[in-house]
Every structure is written in structure tokens, then in C-alpha cells.
């Protein structure tokens, strides 16, 4: 698992997918989310606008999980 530092106040799920390098574009994030394979804290989530907070863990297939760390 790797930590991804974000500003206090959280980050949207779609933005995190791009920021962490899990996808290349917002369109890629939308497509991945619509497949139902993105998990937040071990629960499938398809909402690009979901706000992630400190300690949330995001997993996608074929990548190491990332943990949100607010700084």
C-alpha cells in the first residue's frame, strides 16, 4: 500500500484516481468507475465525486492500494 498526500478537506474519487496515477484521464476514471471495480475501504463505489478523507483506502485491479493522507 502506498500513501498519497492530499490537502486537508479531502479529494474526489475521480481526482484521486488521476492524481495517484491509477488512470491517465478523467474519461479513464469514469470508465473504470462504471465497471464497478473500484473499491473504497473494501466497498465498491462508482461515484466520481465521492469525497475521500484521511485514511480512506482505494483499490483498483492490477495496482497497489492507495491510502489518502491529508496534510
CATH 3.10.290.10 is the classification of domain 2-70? yes
pTM above 0.85, yes or no: yes
Delimit the domains of the chain by residue range. 2-70
Are the CB atoms for 23 and 17 separated by under 8 Å? yes
- For residue 44 the three cell numbers come to 465498491
d(CA 14, CA 16): 5
d(CA 20, CA 29): 11
> How do residues 9-54 score in pLDDT, each as one tens digit?
999 999 999 999 999 999 999 999 999 999 999 999 999 999 999 9
**CA-closest candidate to residue 20, choices 2, 34, 35, 33:** 2
Q: Which are the contacts of 28, defined by CB distance < 8 A and separation ≥ 6?
A: 17
Amino acid at each position: 500500500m502506498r500513501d498519497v498526500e492530499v490537502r486537508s478537506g479531502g479529494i474526489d474519487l475521480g481526482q484521486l484516481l488521476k492524481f495517484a496515477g491509477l488512470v491517465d484521464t478523467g474519461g479513464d476514471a469514469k470508465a473504470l468507475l462504471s465497471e464497478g471495480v473500484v473499491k473504497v475501504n473494501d466497498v465498491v463505489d462508482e461515484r466520481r465525486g465521492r469525497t475521500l478523507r484521511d485514511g480512506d483506502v482505494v483499490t483498483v485491479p492490477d495496482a497497489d492500494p492507495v491510502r489518502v493522507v491529508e496534510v
